[in-house]
Structure 1
């Protein structure tokens, strides 16, 4: 039985060959589910459709309803391309050899802690023994780095509530279902005004390079470079720039592993939760 289990695990980890449709190569793209699935597809599918006009292969968007499911898929190497948070990249590089291609060069990623605008909470210390909402344990800025700061810098005691998406975090706090919640500034800005205007930020984490769009090593070098150049070309157009601003990726730039290696010294492994 033990041998069979080991064999099955090794098969799951094997690289998946590119698929073909009508004689044309098809690569899969996974996207970390910061938003609910319909919104995520509304943002990403127009971008992929535009990219295909510049490529000799197709791109298939593969959704994951929850962040833990997305994590299991990239750890098993199921995506050819994947848009993931920086800590996900470190794990994906270690387990599967994923490397970054593109990131936003116009900003840094920081976790934010929000409270209800009318709540009495003014500082992190005020949240002692309160319920705090997070998207998922390993959402980087919104949860992983935020929880590390709350524990190591503030020694805060709290009760975590994992609600799957950034949007759900903000809604929980706006409705008073949680005293505070972790998110990132870019997703807060994309909330409906009736939610966003009921929240205020009381804390920000340290900054890091934003989410990279990464590639599995099984994708040939010529195809990954063609993808990168098509992305940068699309970003240089007015229509493409508007589409990518929704990710958000305001100023696409070439990404390398050196952008993310400093995070190895942040001791985040202590707070990483395997589900």
Structure 2
């Protein structure tokens, strides 16, 4: 009887140890995977085509593992980083300030090339001056898109006393598509993102207005990400 009891105890100990090892291994693996959120300037297929190679290269350079996180709408992306669900983020300077206030996101690196907001119309549009947009419906990605919406609207109002009726269509891609399909008379975007739509869409548009330059989108990290990991990512982007 004693042998049976001892044997049972031995089996129990082995089972407990196995579960402990499995949990430890799973925890260690999970801790090495970092979420990397990207502001949805484009529709998801395009976003993945642009960012998947970047994430793959980042993994090679750092030896770390990343999970690329994208959302359908900029508003959904905002909810994710405000809730602190994203370890690393690529987003505009306005979002960085907002994220720093609520979660303390730390900027790591940004592109050196300044960006400029734009207003586009169809090439065959009769509109030749931004003053003609007053009271018109204009497409924008989201209210908090700093170059494509905030800066554009601020400059139109301040410099030309032009107030437009905003139509928020979720991404830069949809802005250009709306204008190309003549669903809105104009749309706000950024010079850099105008290079991404299909050639047929680009060929149908022209730039009506260009804003002053503003800083590009930075990559930032949550304070909970270890300092050595943040440094690896920073160096990989340089």
* TM bucket normalised to smaller: 0.7 to 0.9
- In the alignment, the residues of structure 2 paired with residue 21 and residue 60 of structure 1 have an alpha-carbon distance, to the nearest angstrom, of 16
Mapping for residues 43-58 of structure 1, pairs under 5 Å: 43-58=50-65
SS of aligned partner of 2:214 = coil
After TM superposition, give the deviation of residue 156 of structure 1 in Å. 1.5
CA contact (8 A) 2:108 2:221 kept: yes
Q: Name the CA distance, whole Å, in 2 between partners of 1:45 and 1:179.
A: 34
Alignment of 1:19-168 (within 5 A): 20=27, 22=29, 25-105=32-112, 107-168=113-174
Larger Rg: 2
1:37 Cα deviation from its structure 2 partner? 0.8
Are 1:29 and 1:80, in contact at CA under 8 Å, matched by a contact in 2?
A: yes
The match for 2:199 is 193
Q: RMSD value over aligned CA atoms?
A: 1.6
**SS at the partner of 2:53?**
helix
Task: Report how far residue 22 of structure 1 moved.
Answer: 3.8
The whole-number CA distance in structure 1 between the counterparts of 2:160 and 2:172 is: 23
TM-aligned CA distance change 1:86 to 1:23, over 3 Å: closer
Gaps (5+ residues) in structure 2? 1-25
User: How many residues in Structure 1 have an aligned counterpart in Structure 2?
Assistant: 213
TM-score where L is the length of structure 1: 0.74
* C-alpha deviation, 1:20, in angstroms: 4.5
**Counterparts of 1:201 and 1:20 in 2: how far apart (Å)?**
51
Runs of 4+ in 1 over 3 A off after TM superposition: 19-24
Rate the CA distance shift 1:158–1:110 in 2: closer, same or farther, 3 A: same
CA contact (8 A) 1:129 1:158 kept: yes
Contact 2:153 2:163 in 1 (8 A): no
Gaps in structure 1 of 5+ consecutive residues: 1-18, 233-275
Tell me, what secondary structure is at the counterpart of 2:192? helix
Q: CA deviation at 1:21?
A: 6.3
Query: How big is the shift at 1:121?
Result: 0.8
Determine the C-alpha separation between the residues in 2 that align with 1:56 and 1:46. 15
- Deviation digits for residues 71-123 of structure 1 (CA, Å, limit 9, x no counterpart): 11111111110000111111111221112112111x21111001111111111
Q: CA-to-partner distance for each residue in 1:176-217, whole Å, 9 max, x for gaps?
A: 111110000011012211111111111111211100011111
Structure 1 residues 202-211 or 28-37, which shifts more?
202-211
State the distance in 2 between where 1:20 and 1:32 align: 28
